[in-house]
Amino acid sequence: MNFIVLTIFPEMFKPFWEHGIVSRAINQDKISVSAIDIRDFAQGKHRTTDDRPYGGGCGMIMKPEPLAGAIRAAEKKAPLSKRILLTPQGRPFDQRVAEELASSDGLILVCGRYEGVDERICHDFIDDEISIGDYILTGGELAAMVIVDAVTRLIPGVLGGKDSAEKDSFSDSVLEHAHYTRPRVFEDDEVPGVLLSGNHKEIERWRLETSLIRTFLKRRDLLENRPLSSQEIEILKKWCLDIEKIIHDQSLYGPDPLSGGQQEG
């Protein structure tokens, strides 16, 4: 996979390429990365990349000529790449989009700055527009890093067995189960006994339960939009019964103890 980032701040990417899984993937030839300075394609003494908007208004717009020059140069290096503009107006980036991008030949990531880019670039030089969230960054550079990071770790062979992407949060539209490592007791807080039991079936069941309960509490939308397996349905039904039992047992004790002994009604 070939990533080419177009930016007016290519230096921002140097430390990014040099750390962690991205750096390892580069060294193992799983990915190749480069940054093209949009300013190299700007004209004039000041190599200006932005200008005032036609029609007036505040803010500056990225000029089309330097962007077009930089995109053409990137296309020459990697003709099969998908050209993506990072913009808050793009389609939302999520794990599914990361998987989709991971199966492409390469990505040309165009980082906008200022108020935006000249519309003619969006029409004629861009295949896709992506946003990493409903907030406005000062430029697309951080969004490009997010995409490179999320896509790189999905490329076969980039993550070893010990940190495989298959069991990630979201890869199955549920959040990951709880994790523990040594020490067994940390500030009086013990690792759940089942994880020390050696009973792999029980451990798998516990993991599925914690994964479901987290998803239910933190991201119920994920559960609502995904078919449940029969084991998951069985676990959810068991919770319903447990909750009903708690309510039933409480109601046998008469007045609400929290309302100062007053009968409700």
Find the binder of ligand ADE among 67, 143, 148, 175 (CB under 6 A).
Answer: 143
**Can residue 86 be called a binding residue for ligand ADE (CB under 6 A)?**
yes
Q: In degrees rounded to 5, what are phi and psi of residue 144?
A: -60, -40
Minimum distance from CB of 134 to ligand ADE (Å)? 7
- Residue 113, SS3? strand
CB nearer ligand ADE, residue 109 or residue 159: 109
Closer to ligand ADE at the Cβ: 137 or 235?
Answer: 137
Q: Is 176 among the residues known to form the active site? A: no
DSSP letters for 188-248: TEEPPGGGGS--HHHHHHHHHHHHHHHHHHH-HHHHHTSPPPHHHHHHHHHHHHHHHHHHH
Query: Is residue 99 among the annotated active site residues?
Result: no
114 lies in the binding site for ligand ADE (CB under 6 A): no
Size of the site for ligand ADE (CB under 6 A): 12
The reply to whether 131 sits near ligand ADE by the rule CB under 6 A is yes
Shortest CB 52 distance to ligand ADE, Å: 20
- Toward ligand ADE, which CB reaches closer, 131 or 211? 131
Is 115 considered catalytic here? Answer: yes
Among 26, 68, 137, 195, binds ligand ADE (CB under 6 A): 137
Q: Which residue has the tokens 């990361």?
A: 98
Where b means 16+ CB within 10 Å and e means fewer, 123-156 reads eebbeebbbbeeeebebbbebbbbbbebbbbbbe
Which amino acid type is present at position 36? I
Asked if 145 touches ligand ADE (CB under 6 A), the answer is no
- Choosing from 10, 66, 106, 140, the residue that interacts with ligand ADE (CB under 6 A) is 140
Residue 218 contacts by C-beta under 8 Å, 6 or more apart in sequence?
Answer: 175
Q: Do 5 and 13 form a contact (C-beta atoms < 8 A)?
A: yes
> Which sign, positive or negative, has the C-alpha torsion 120, 121, 126, 130?
negative
Q: Is 128 in the site for ligand ADE (CB under 6 A)?
A: no
Reading the block at residue 66, the tokens are 């330097």
- Catalytic residue positions? 88, 115, 153, 168
Residues that bind ligand ADE (CB under 6 A): 86-88, 112, 131-133, 135-137, 140, 143
